[in-house]
Amino acid sequence: VQPPEKPLQAEEWNKLREDFHLPEIFEEVMLNNMIRCNSPIDVAKSLLTHVAKRNGDIAYNVLVKYLTLCVRQGQVSEIRDVYDIMKVRFKILESGAYNLLIRGLSNSDQWRMALTLLEEAKKIMIPSRTCYESCIKAASRHQEMKLAFELYHEMLAKDVVPTLDVLQSFFNFSRGMNGAELQKQLFGILLYLRENQIYPHKTFMQSIKLWFESIPGGNWRGNLTKIKDSGQCPVCKQQLEDSNLTEEEYSNLSERIIRDVIHGTDTFRKTSPKEFEAFQTFVENRLPFDIVIDGLNVSHIKSRKMQCENLSDAVNCLAKENARLLVLGRKHMLMNSSNWKREIMKEMQNKADFFFAENISEDDAFLLYATLQSGKHCRFVTRDFLRDHKACLSDSVTRHLFRKWQRGHQIVLKKKKKKKSFSSVLSQQPAFRYDCVVQTTGDTWHIPYKDVFEEKYSYQVPRKWLCIQQK
């Protein structure tokens, strides 16, 4: 239904309503369409008047729809009127109406009323992140940074995750402002990014840069750069934090992997106690390894080659400098088949240690265990992102540890096409030597950022950095 362009008289509405195939929901549908077309508010008003005259009352959902239209067009006085009416008519309001009211009022100069509404909403529910977002933005827009930060901390305390937008607005609105307290708070946000391994996007990064440079008397300078593989920042020559976990983190992580990933609710789901024990003794007798290889994963790199050839290529590629290799596989690899030739397997077993799990066991769990047991220097080879294993870990802190460890220890083999010939060679994408996370030394800050607004994959780490140093 096309909403009319001008306010209609009651009779005209009546006629439209009768022509509509479902007269009971006519108002709803009409208002929805008005919202979609962003119709003039007067048209909606005339519809409401018509409804009020006919029924002597207006249903709550119709009022909410009208409110949506008002919020969309920033009609502050109307929003207030609707609120007054709702307040008298209904004992409490529900979250949808509060969301709208808060959003509508926070953009006006009656933004303080949004705050009182937020207080009201808190009585019946945990306000949504958009509610907080509107209020925080309103407060910081009016330079009430203290209030904004109070709200921010409140929302964190309630486990409501702030949007990047909110965080960015803090930097935008604090530009040029002085104050040790404010600086501390903003550094706190950067540390929040660090702890939760969040990477700001490009415009957010710009906001951070501009804020730093605007601190009066701070003498901060920001530069965009790329960090070398060695982990040195080319601008300030600072060495970034390395990707190693601390002793405590490391032992925590390996404990949790054994508990949550390998055993889980039932050891039999991924392996069996007997098999796991056998693997444990196998590993302990041969420790430590330098590189642990996921045999089956590596064997699928090039689909046109035999699987055992792929594996032997990989082993040859990695078996330099007397590195101690462990290859994990499944028992079916030992059966002489078209893909697994016995001679090639024999040959490989001279170069590396092999462990063959049962065909129905999960070899990835063994991969993680062997690597972690070998110590911090040990790395592993697989193209798998290990997301299912990360998901087995029960809390986010350990998951972050896992990601960090994975970034620092996973080698990814890739095929590289040589020109003119059909053969391709393997190349290593090495593990990161530095930790890709927001970091500071006091007089420098290094902030990795994403080029695009939403990067799709969680395993991808940004390669671009913002280096900020104090002179």
Partner 1 sequence: MQCANMLLRKIVRSSVLPFAAQHGMKKDLFLLSRTLSLSLCLKQDKACEPSEKLDLDEWKKVMKSGLQEEVSETVSEPKELSSLAAARETLEMWRLAGRAVPENISEEQLKTFMECPSKSAKKKYLKYLHLKELRKKSHKRKMDEKRERRLEAQDQASNTDETKKSSFVYLSSRTMDKVYHWRAAQSMIFGQPLVFDMSYEKEMSVREVTNTVKQIVLSESCNRRTVDPFHIHFCNFKDDSLYHKEFIKHYGEAWDKLLITVTDQCYTEIFPKDKLIYLTADSPKVMKKFDHDKIYIVGSMVDRSIKTGVSLAWAKRLGLETAALPLEKYLLWSTGAKNLTLDQMMHILLTLKDTADWKKALEFVPKRKYCGFVNKPVKELKKTLDLINTLKLRKGREGVEKQFAKNHPKKYTLK
Q: 109: how many CB neighbours lie within 10 A of its CB? A: 10
Stretch that binds partner 1, among 48-56, 282-290, 367-375, 458-466 (CB under 8 A): 48-56
Query: To which H or E segment does residue 294 belong?
Result: strand 291-294
Pick between residue 250 and residue 385 the one whose CB is nearest to partner 1.
Answer: 385
Question: Should residue 61 be labelled a site residue for partner 1 when binding is judged by CB under 8 A?
Answer: yes
Q: Among 37, 125, 323, 391, which residue interacts with partner 1 (rule: CB under 8 A)?
A: 125
- C-alpha triplet 171, 173, 174: angle, nearest 5°: 65
Q: Which residues contact 46 (CB under 8 A, 6 or more apart)?
A: 7, 8, 9, 13
Q: Are 314 and 411 in contact (CB under 8 A)?
A: no
Closest distance of CB 219 from partner 1, Å: 40
Question: Should residue 16 be labelled a site residue for partner 1 when binding is judged by CB under 8 A?
Answer: no
Backbone CA torsion sign across 193, 197, 201, 206: positive
Closest distance of CB 142 from partner 1, Å: 15
Question: Should residue 90 be labelled a site residue for partner 1 when binding is judged by CB under 8 A?
Answer: yes
Q: Among 97, 136, 283, 436, which residue interacts with partner 1 (rule: CB under 8 A)?
A: 97
Q: Residue 47 and residue 35: Cα distance in Å, rounded?
A: 13
Query: To which H or E segment does residue 357 belong?
Result: strand 353-357
Q: Residue 117 and residue 95: Cα distance in Å, rounded?
A: 11
Closest CA to 131 of 157, 80, 166: 166
Question: Should residue 272 be labelled a site residue for partner 1 when binding is judged by CB under 8 A?
Answer: yes
**Using CB under 8 A as the criterion, what x/- string covers residues 422-461 for binding partner 1?**
xx--------------------------------------
Pick between residue 69 and residue 437 the one whose CB is nearest to partner 1.
Answer: 69
Question: Should residue 339 be labelled a site residue for partner 1 when binding is judged by CB under 8 A?
Answer: no
Q: Among 103, 209, 263, 305, which residue interacts with partner 1 (rule: CB under 8 A)?
A: 305
Closest distance of CB 19 from partner 1, Å: 21
The helix, strand and coil proportions of the chain, stated in percent and rounded to the nearest 5, come to 55, 15, 35
Pick between residue 190 and residue 393 the one whose CB is nearest to partner 1.
Answer: 393
Q: Which residues contact 364 (CB under 8 A, 6 or more apart)?
A: 294, 382, 384, 386, 389
Q: Among 270, 379, 407, 446, which residue interacts with partner 1 (rule: CB under 8 A)?
A: 270
Pick between residue 61 and residue 223 the one whose CB is nearest to partner 1.
Answer: 61
The residue behind tokens 């460890």 is: 405
Closest distance of CB 304 from partner 1, Å: 6
Closest distance of CB 397 from partner 1, Å: 19
Q: Residue 44 and residue 68: Cα distance in Å, rounded?
A: 11
Q: 354: how many CB neighbours lie within 10 A of its CB? A: 19
Question: Should residue 56 be labelled a site residue for partner 1 when binding is judged by CB under 8 A?
Answer: yes
Stretch that binds partner 1, among 39-47, 179-187, 198-206, 242-250 (CB under 8 A): 39-47
The residue behind tokens 């209030």 is: 147
Question: Should residue 390 be labelled a site residue for partner 1 when binding is judged by CB under 8 A?
Answer: no
Closest distance of CB 411 from partner 1, Å: 25
Pick between residue 90 and residue 459 the one whose CB is nearest to partner 1.
Answer: 90
Q: Residue 451 and residue 471: Cα distance in Å, rounded?
A: 27
Q: Which residues contact 381 (CB under 8 A, 6 or more apart)?
A: 291, 292, 293, 294, 298, 314, 318, 410, 411, 412, 413
Question: Should residue 420 be labelled a site residue for partner 1 when binding is judged by CB under 8 A?
Answer: no
Pick between residue 202 and residue 330 the one whose CB is nearest to partner 1.
Answer: 330
Please state whether beta strands 291-294 and 379-381 pair in parallel, antiparallel, or not at all (unpaired): parallel
Question: Should residue 278 be labelled a site residue for partner 1 when binding is judged by CB under 8 A?
Answer: no
Distances (CA, A) of 109 to 76, 112, 113: 9, 8, 9
Pick between residue 62 and residue 235 the one whose CB is nearest to partner 1.
Answer: 62
Closest distance of CB 422 from partner 1, Å: 5
Q: Residue 141 and residue 133: Cα distance in Å, rounded?
A: 12
Peptide bond into 448 cis (omega under 30): no
Stretch that binds partner 1, among 120-128, 178-186, 191-199, 313-321 (CB under 8 A): 120-128
Stretch that binds partner 1, among 122-130, 188-196, 281-289, 411-419 (CB under 8 A): 122-130
Closest distance of CB 166 from partner 1, Å: 19
Q: Among 51, 102, 115, 262, which residue interacts with partner 1 (rule: CB under 8 A)?
A: 51
373: which strand partners?
none
Question: Should residue 157 be labelled a site residue for partner 1 when binding is judged by CB under 8 A?
Answer: no
Q: List interacting residues with partner 1 (CB under 8 A).
A: 7, 9, 28, 42, 45-46, 48-49, 51-53, 56-61, 64, 75-77, 80-81, 85, 88-94, 96-97, 109-110, 124-126, 265-266, 268-270, 272, 304-306, 309, 359-360, 422-423
